[in-house]
Amino acid sequence: NAGVTQTPKFQVLKTGQSMTLQCAQDMNHEYMSWYRQDPGMGLRLIHYSVGAGITDQGEVPNGYNVSRSTTEDFPLRLLSAAPSQTSVYFCASSYRRTSGGEEQFFGPGTRLTVL
Amino acid sequence: KQEVTQIPAALSVPEGENLVLNCSFTDSAIYNLQWFRQDPGKGLTSLLLIQSSQREQTSGRLNASLDKSSGRSTLYIAASQPGDSATYLCAVKAGANSKLTFGKGITLSVRP
């Protein structure tokens, strides 16, 4: 299994540009999430999905859109990039164990710089 | 609102030492607690998951404990090695349909 994969690994954008961060998982997990990690702020949830066709907002959703047309893919779209969106973005997937608890697995991250 | 705290923010120990990393949370009604490791420039790697009904979990040299009544979890690392140098994060899930709340992590440096 490749686990959770993300592309690209690095990206530089100019203010106002749009782009899509790709995320895919091959573990057949129901749940997928997007986080951003900033120094001193920790990990913050942007959007999440509990299954194909179902998405919801996290703590910091403004400026981002998501969709989940398949179980495997959960792309994150930046509508009009701003310098405040400079961050490291992580995609995660999770499943609920039959014995209880939900274990989350992370991708390698995308480092985004907005000039 | 659940808050997760990890103190200290950084720790440096000599190789071979047994060490304990602490994680505290404000709301004792949790679904599960998960410990992660993050190497510089990398993603998070899941180390251990403790369900609400459990008191501890073990994997190799790692042992994580959970005390809901006091709002604490500890990650015990036995016989530390330089390869253990990384940032360790704990995260708490308050309920089955709740989000994961992360601490800010403890950056561990193991000196040869």
Give residue-wise pLDDT tens across range B4-63: 999 999 999 999 999 999 999 999 989 999 999 999 999 999 999 999 999 999 999 999
- Ramachandran quadrant class, A98 (left: phi over 0; alpha: psi -120 to 50; beta: rest): alpha
Contact B93 A99 (CB under 8 A): no
Lookup: tokens for B15: 């190789």
> Coil, strand or helix: which one is A85?
helix
C-alpha A34/C-alpha A56 separation (Å) is 11
A110 within 8 A of A92, measured Cβ to Cβ: no
Question: For residue A13, which of A64, A67, A78 has the smallest C-alpha distance?
Answer: A78
B98 near A CB under 8 A: no
Pick from B43, B50, B52: CB nearest A109:
B43
CA distance A105 to chain B (A): 6
- From the list A4, A100, A106, the residue facing B51 with the nearest CB is A100
Can you give the pLDDT at residue B5?
97
Whether residue A78 is predicted with pLDDT greater than 90 in this model: the reply is yes
Which of A43, A100, A108 has the CB atom closest to B53's CB atom? A100
Q: What is the per-residue pLDDT for B97?
A: 81
CA distance A57 to chain B (A): 11
In this prediction, residues A54-75 reach a mean pLDDT of 96
**Confidence (pLDDT) at A97:** 83
pLDDT value, residue A84? 96
Give residue A93's pLDDT.
96
- At B71-89, the pLDDT tens digits run 999 999 999 999 999 999 9
The conformational region for residue B29 under phi > 0 = left, psi -120 to 50 = alpha, else beta, is: beta
Question: φ, ψ for residue A47 (rounded to 5)?
Answer: -145, 160
Nearest CA among B25, B30, B31 for reference residue B4:
B25
Give residue B63's pLDDT. Answer: 98
Question: Are A101 and B89 in contact (CB < 8 Å)?
Answer: no
